[in-house]
Structure 1
């Protein structure tokens, strides 16, 4: 697999965007392999997350995977590792042709309070046309800014001695607005002008959504658990948290004579903090087979996950019933 590395001034984060076509009949095997790859990557320093984006249609057949690391050096260590090479050798029969990637070093993350859709476009700029290409990109930006839903753009320059492609990432608030821009007459006219500055380009569309405790990075509402599953999962983490706090911090507060309204406020701050940064990530990981719509496709899985949660409830009730008055 060839690696395209790109860098912008400032910013420490590093993202690798990989696209690959999957052989017919091998999609399930690919998903299992990708999940295995994610688990291996998690063991590397600086790993922040991995997201899988399936194609919009069977005709496109382009699967996009995004890995995020805290620093470009940590991402490079993962890309160059023997563990990753072994995984790529294992998956060769799953792919149609060689996968392609861009590594985006630096840049600003997408705003987490919004749903956004990102397009990543790599350009093979003709020698001696770099300044013309940059002026053309400025013109593209001025036109993009006038289109509905535009949220911003970043330009990643090539790294001398590593690769020669320029990468542009731009965001829109919805897939429809992004598609409208990509199919617009304005962009078509700009591409006709830009063809004299680059020999080839490739477009990858990446969805991204955020939903508080349930941020799985699946790209759209299809990646968010059902409300009833969210409620059951929150109760699973919330009940033991509140009970333990009442039995520990609550007794301390009572002994110190802290007023009830203040004690309750502090306990709420502690419980929400524990849920957000400790317990809910653990619950999400342990119950991903049931919470993630992409995995929980059968009635048996829905029932099994619900039974697991209710069994945990029963265990907590038994424990606290035996240990409290």
Structure 2
């Protein structure tokens, strides 16, 4: 089932993160692991490929895998999604999974805190989200104000704030928050 809630025309310049879940048939885990290696090698060939992370649940009865696949923009994601190559690999996947794959495509800030919920774990406590986001904003603002203050001081206050907050959002989404999420992954999920 595909639940791609993005408009390709409106946000073509934003990075797309596809969260793909597969419920693997019991006893087919080794075959699925081989499928992932091949699938990953093929995905890397596509324009705009930004990486693949594989998350595995520890549940033995219903092993679920979550693939986190990134593309640089929605048009490249769409090219991959609609490709014959991907269709062939999905066809190879069918005997290995217990239900059809689920794909959720997201852009921007919504990808920061979504993964633990997908793995059927309790959601990240809001206070932890606030602390990590606060740290990210602090880091970006501390750096930007030092660099940009002399350059933007001639602008009217509102224009100065518009430029600064735009850069903060951009850097948080594409640089700082992905790194902070990796750094604090264990703490966030505990």
TM-score w.r.t. the length of structure 2 is 0.59
RMSD: 3.4
* Match status 1:78 vs 2:76: no
Name which of 178, 196, 205 aligns with 2:189. Answer: 178
* Match status 1:19 vs 2:18: no
* Match status 1:107 vs 2:89: no
Q: Which has the higher contact order (CA 8 A, sep 6+)?
A: 2
Q: CA deviation at 1:25?
A: 1.3
* Match status 1:50 vs 2:39: no
Q: CA deviation at 1:101?
A: 1.3
Unaligned runs of 5+ in 2: 134-180
Per-residue CA deviation, residues 125-180 of structure 1 (Å, 9 max, x unaligned), is xxxxxxxxxxxxxxx99x712x588534xxxxxxxxxxxxxxxxxx693446435x
Say if 1:44 and 1:59 are closer, same or farther in 2 by CA, change over 3 A. same
For 2:107 and 2:130, locate their aligned partners in 1 and report how far apart those are by CA, in whole Å. 25
For 2:91 and 2:114, locate their aligned partners in 1 and report how far apart those are by CA, in whole Å. 31
Contact 1:117 1:178 in 2 (8 A): no
TM-score w.r.t. the length of structure 1 is 0.36
Counting only pairs closer than 5 Å after superposition, residues 200-279 of structure 1 correspond to structure 2 as none
Contact 1:6 1:104 in 2 (8 A): yes
Per-residue CA deviation, residues 266-303 of structure 1 (Å, 9 max, x unaligned), is xxxxxxxxxxxxxxxxxxxxxxxxxxxxxxxxxxxxxx
Match in the other structure for 2:132 = 151
Contact 1:16 1:68 in 2 (8 A): yes
Match in the other structure for 1:5 = 4
Contact 1:5 1:105 in 2 (8 A): no
Contact 1:26 1:94 in 2 (8 A): yes
Q: Give the length in aligned residue pairs.
A: 136
SS at match of 2:116: strand
For 1:95 and 1:118, locate their aligned partners in 2 and report how far apart those are by CA, in whole Å. 20
Match in the other structure for 2:66 = 64
Unaligned runs of 5+ in 1: 111-115, 122-139, 153-170, 180-325
More helix by share: 2
Which aligned segments of 4 or more residues in structure 1 are displaced greater than 4 angstroms?
7-11, 147-150
For 1:72 and 1:26, locate their aligned partners in 2 and report how far apart those are by CA, in whole Å. 32
Larger radius of gyration: 1
Q: CA deviation at 1:54?
A: 1.1
Say if 1:175 and 1:43 are closer, same or farther in 2 by CA, change over 3 A. same
